[in-house]
Each structure stands twice: as C-alpha cells, then as structure tokens.
Amino acid sequence: MLTLYSYPELFGVADNNGYGLKVYAFLKLAGVQFVHEHLFDASAAPRGQLPYVVDDGETIGDSETIIAHATAKYRLTIDAALMPEQRRTNHLVTRMLDDLYWVMSYSRWKDERYYPAFRDAFIAQHPQLNAEGLEKAKAYNAQRYYFQGIGRYTPEQAYARGLTDLKVLAEIVPAQGFVHCEAPTSIDAGIYGFIANIYFLPIPTPLKAFVDGHANLVAHCETIHAAVTAK
C-alpha cells in the first residue's frame, strides 16, 4: 500500500503545508487507499522536501511527480475527461500556486505580526515541539526566503504578490461546483491544498482576509474539505 509522508496537521487540515495537503486531497478524491504518516523533520526526505510517498518499495518525491505516479500506476480517471486547454490551465495554475506558497509561508514564519500566533498554535496542537525548536525553523526559513527572493520584500510587497495570485484564483473558481467539471479534478485538490491552509488559519493575515471575502473560494474549500475528511 502507498504511504504518504507529509508535515503535521494543523487547524483541522491534514497537512499544514500546501503541497502535502494537495497530494492528500488528490489521493482521497481519486479513491486511492493509502497510509498517512506525519513528519516534523524533512531531512531524510528526497531532496530534503516533503511530501513524498513510498509505494511498493519505490520512493517518489515532489507533489506533481507523486500525482503523475499514482495516476499512471492506479489508472486513475480523475482527469481523464479534461480537454487540452483545461490541462494547460491546470499547468499554469499549478505554477501560480508555487508562487503563492512563498507568500503563505512568509505570512507564518517571517511576518512578526503573525508569527507569534502561528508559533503558539503549532505548539498547542503539537506539544512535543517547543519555542526554541520553532525559532530554529524560523531562522532556517528566513534563509530560504532571502535566497528565493520573497524575504527581500517588505510585507506589503510580499502580500501584493499573493493577493494577485488569489485574485486569479477567485476568477477561475466558480460560485458553485468545481473548476472544470461537475466532479472535482486534480486542480481542485491543488487549489484546496493552498486555500485551506489560508482559510482555516485563525490568524488575520491579508491572505485570509481576501479568501474570507470571496464566497466562491470559501465554498470550494469547504466542499473539498468535506469530501476529503468524509472518506
């Protein structure tokens, strides 16, 4: 059986990282049986990044590679009806979510207005952690942000990038239902992975304010959340 390794749950979502939650939601929506293991330390993961899966002894990292692997091996039909233009849209949205990831992470670990609340909530749910350990993670993330580039932005500049991404999502996600079809496809799982990690975060970042103010994003998130938590 496939085993998914990803970051811990938080605020009612199965993974507090958008990429792991995307894979989790995809596997649930596609009907793949799997075991979910949570890790705090990604150092032993492929390329030092979560999520990854182990499937019949084969280790696969990177969320998109995992999804492609599961689709091929288990002959999943979740995206089978998509037209070429829809697949192109999926690709572009997936890359945009890569950009949104950095702003989401910045809001938790870099912005001093919100980091203390995030830190305290994380420790409250995972008491095996402590403030010293999270401070080390904060310093590590600060280095990542600097070299990626988002760490050289002011908070206002960083959030402007994320809000631009969210505006595009708000134009793509319908008022009801799913992005392409009457049933969810992989892009719905991808969007959920990131929006859920904003929407369910009880900390009033500019990203959360935007999502809360768009009924279509909220409805989409709650619908996928109900589907993946019910399975």
Instruction: Indicate the burial class of 123 (C-beta count within 10 angstroms; 0-12, 13-18, 19 or more).
Output: middle
Instruction: Provide the pairing of β-strand 34-38 with 52-55.
Output: unpaired
Q: Which amino acid appears at position 194 of this protein?
A: F
Q: Which amino acid appears at position 173 of this protein?
A: V
pLDDT for 72: 96
Which residue bears the tokens 């994003």? Answer: 217
pLDDT for 48: 86
Q: Assess contact for 28 and 17: CB atoms under 8 A.
A: no
Cα 226 from Cα 201, distance rounded (Å): 17
Q: What are phi and psi of 109, to 5 degrees?
A: -105, -25
Instruction: Indicate the burial class of 113 (C-beta count within 10 angstroms; 0-12, 13-18, 19 or more).
Output: exposed
pLDDT for 194: 98
Q: Assess contact for 94 and 187: CB atoms under 8 A.
A: yes
Mean pLDDT by 10 residues, the chain (231 residues): 94 95 98 94 87 95 96 96 96 97 96 95 90 92 95 96 97 95 95 98 96 98 94 59
Instruction: Indicate the burial class of 9 (C-beta count within 10 angstroms; 0-12, 13-18, 19 or more).
Output: middle
pLDDT for 210: 98
pLDDT for 231: 59
Q: What predicted TM-score, i.e. pTM, was given to this entire model?
A: 0.95
Per-residue burial over 80-110, b = 16 or more CB atoms within 10 Å of its CB, e = otherwise? eebeeebeebbeebbebbeebbbbbbbbbbb
pLDDT for 181: 85
Q: Assess contact for 129 and 121: CB atoms under 8 A.
A: no
Q: Tell me the domains of the chain and their CATH numbers.
A: 2-73 (3.40.30.10), 84-230 (1.20.1050)
Instruction: Provide the pairing of β-strand 58-61 with 34-38.
Output: unpaired
- For 130, the 3-state DSSP assignment is coil
Tokens encoding 63: 């969320």
pLDDT for 44: 83
Quote the crossing angle between the two packed helices 84-109 and 115-125, to the nearest 10°: 100
Q: Assess contact for 93 and 178: CB atoms under 8 A.
A: no
